Amino acid sequence: MKVFRHFEHVPDAAKGAVVAIGNFDGVHRGHQALIAEGRRLAASMGAPFGILAFEPHPQEFFRKDGEKFRLTPFRPKAEMLCRLGVDALFAVPFNARLAAMPAEQFIADVLVKGLGLRHVITGADFQFGKGRGGDAALLAREGARLGFGASVFSVVMAEGDHKVSSTDIRAALKKGDPRAAARLLGHDWTVSGHVRGGDKRGRTIGFPTANISLKGYLEPALGVYAVRVAGIGRSFEGVANFGRRPTFDKKDTLLEVHLFDFDGDLYGRHLDVSLVDYIRAERKFSGLDELKAQIAADSLTARDILAAG
């Protein structure tokens, strides 16, 4: 998959594509179905298939001091899109210029002149342009006038009558329900990051941890999770605490992962940590002995959860 960080000066080889537009945060079941339909359309037209997504996410641009909410920062999202067979990712910079661009100008300058797309596919509720002045109906009208096709993809429904949405996935993670999030995502929610140095306290009580910052990610419910970890040759199971470590009067949030049946140095390694299930809320302990006993109990619980699937 080729990644373009702009919409201007796109090479001719990348033009003429079928392009799906959206933020694709989480690359959930609805996104996956839309991508599959986009790939089908592209194959039928003998065209490449691309994704147009905005970087940073528009909400990050408009709410610079807001709470972190992204399910998938740029790098893991790009990796997931590549695995789904996307040929090109147009990561269009979302800045003041783009925020002020009327919808008709976005179509003319970005989609037609910039990308030279052949066909565009969006969700039914997609809105774009200054003041969200553009929608799927405008794309269809302008496409007929300017020479590109436009289609709308029906939403994918979750249990009941609700569509699969990134908003509901975030809510599930914030309340400590990664299994509900996984049902909507179509996969376990996974965070990626480099192992950084810590206090090395875990190894002194028999539970060494890999410490990972969730910078750029939504922060799930504080507490202890059963996890699976990739990035070190094969998948490992483990138990992780995401929190502020109140026993030691820490204030910053950190993901501390203890891998079962692993003996080695993880410093500097890039790990993918999938949250499988929530075990308990974070709490303060009276000292190291009580903490050690609780980690041992949490580890047994995590092993039982992971063994059950």
Helix (H) / strand (E) containing 191: strand 189-194
Domain contains 144: yes
Which residues does residue 2 pair with via DSSP β-bridges, in sequence order?
Answer: 88
How many domains does the chain divide into?
Answer: 2
Domain contains 82: yes
Per residue, what are the HEC states of 17-56? CEEEECCCCCCCHHHHHHHHHHHHHHHHHCCCEEEEEEEC
Pairing type for strands 127-128 and 49-55 reads: unpaired
Considering the domain architecture, whether residues 134 and 237 belong to the same structural domain is answered as no
- The residue out of 134, 153, 172 marking a domain boundary is 153
Alpha-carbon span 214 to 218, nearest angstrom = 8
Considering the domain architecture, whether residues 21 and 119 belong to the same structural domain is answered as yes
Q: Render each residue's pLDDT in the chain as its tens digit; 309 residues.
A: 999 998 988 999 999 999 999 999 999 999 999 999 999 999 999 999 999 999 999 988 888 777 889 999 999 999 999 999 999 999 999 999 999 999 999 999 999 999 999 999 998 889 999 999 999 999 999 999 999 999 999 876 666 556 889 999 999 999 999 999 999 999 999 999 999 876 555 565 568 889 998 888 999 999 999 999 998 888 999 999 998 765 555 667 889 999 999 988 888 899 999 999 999 999 888 778 888 889 999 999 999 999 998
Q: Is 16 left (phi over 0), alpha (psi -120 to 50) or beta?
A: left
Domain contains 119: yes
Residue 109 to residues 102, 118, 149, 235, 236: CA-CA distances in angstroms?
10, 14, 16, 45, 48
Radius of gyration of the CA atoms of the chain, in A? 22
What is the pTM assigned to this prediction? 0.89
